[in-house]
Amino acid sequence: ELKPYNEDYSLKLAAFYEQTGRTDEAQQILLRALHTSPGSKRLPIALGRVCESNQQWSQASVYYAMVVNHFPENHVWRKHRARCLYHAGNYSAAFEQFTICQKNDPESLSLSEMIAFGDTALRLGDIDTAQQLFDEISAAHQHQLLHVEILRGLCAINRGQNISAKSIIDTARKKWPADPTLLEVAALVPAE
């Protein structure tokens, strides 16, 4: 290491290590650089990405929190943080971050992020929000993703909306008549 305290050098060296599959070494380079440049705006981004690629979700969320503090209006980093919190199982914090993203830029969440947001609401017992999110996904993606339809049906059942649940499941069964999970969910709808 010729210039261990130079931020640009550290970022380039870490990128090289990461490209060659040496992510642990990349992470160590970036951590040392962050200790010498704690106010850096670029190093937490790089550390978040390295941790995310290593599925170190909790660590990645910490670095993305630093980035969000530097750039509070940039929802790209808030979405990264929300996804990492979700994968780390920190559903309350993930829900909060997803909510901020959706409130400030309703179109900013991708399909997978919307599904994670809905799943987070469901895991937290906020069935109304989960239902709303899965309904939005279904309306926006007319191809009706099977797993979303299953989740919509389960939300409706849990909310006691049996007519709505039956309609959701019946519509999905027309498209996927032999899906075993869908058949199990259909069996959960109380008879009228």
Mind giving me the DSSP string for 62-96? HHHHHHHHH-TT-HHHHHHHHHHHHHHT-HHHHHH
Asked whether the predicted pLDDT for residue 148 surpasses 70, the reply is yes
Domain that includes residue 55, residue range: 1-109
Whole-number pLDDT of residue 60: 98
Examine residue 41 and state whether it is found in any structural domain, yes or no.
yes
Per-residue confidence band for 4, with pLDDT thresholds at 50, 70 and 90: low
Tally of structural domains, the chain: 2
Q: Based on the domain organization, do 99 and 191 belong to the same domain?
A: no
Examine residue 117 and state whether it is found in any structural domain, yes or no.
no
Q: Based on the domain organization, do 101 and 68 belong to the same domain?
A: yes
Q: Based on the domain organization, do 105 and 174 belong to the same domain?
A: no
Amino acid letter, 182: L
Examine residue 66 and state whether it is found in any structural domain, yes or no.
yes
For 149-174, the pLDDT digits (tens) are 899 999 999 999 999 999 999 999 99
Per-residue confidence band for 142, with pLDDT thresholds at 50, 70 and 90: low
Q: Based on the domain organization, do 57 and 103 belong to the same domain?
A: yes
Whole-number pLDDT of residue 61: 98
Examine residue 120 and state whether it is found in any structural domain, yes or no.
no
Q: Based on the domain organization, do 134 and 103 belong to the same domain?
A: no
The whole-number average pLDDT for the span 84-96 is 98
Residue positions counted in the chain: 192
Whole-number pLDDT of residue 1: 46
Indicate the pTM of the whole model: 0.76
Q: End-to-end CA distance of the chain: give it in Å, rounded.
A: 73
- For residues 155 and 134, is the Cβ–Cβ distance under 8 A? yes
Distance CA 70, CA 100 (A): 16
